[in-house]
Amino acid sequence: MNLVSNAVKYGAGQPVRVELGEHHGAARLVVADKGPGIPPQDQERIFQPFSRLSDSQQGVGLGLWIARKIVQAHSGTIEIASRPGDGTRVTVVLPSG
């Protein structure tokens, strides 16, 4: 839910794409938006607790940290692909079974 709500919040009013499927024997979830993107130097930092890109944004900066902890607790991975001006794509991969 945190991933989808972030995509809606920061997606610049554009549709958010959510994909769920199997990839190499694992479950894969992709959430992508067409928002402003995240600068490369901030992409790891946004997974830290209480981290936000701007003080003008709502929230306390825990959503992506919580998402990462949940994914890691299930032996999965979470990755961000983003470029300023080109939106953000978050991919979660969880082992199946």
Concatenated DSSP letters for 9-30? HHSTTPPPEEEEEEETTEEEEE
Structure token pair of residue 35: 């928002």
Scanning the structure block, which residue is given the tokens 């990462």? Answer: 68
Go through the domains of the chain in sequence order and give each one's CATH number.
2-95 (3.30.565.10)
Provide the terminal-to-terminal Cα distance of the chain, rounded to the nearest Å.
22
Structure token pair of residue 53: 């890109």
Cα–Cα dist 16/87, whole Å: 10
- Report pTM: 0.86
Q: Could you read off the pLDDT of 27-83 as tens digits, one per residue? A: 999 999 999 999 898 888 888 888 766 654 566 678 899 999 999 999 999 999 998
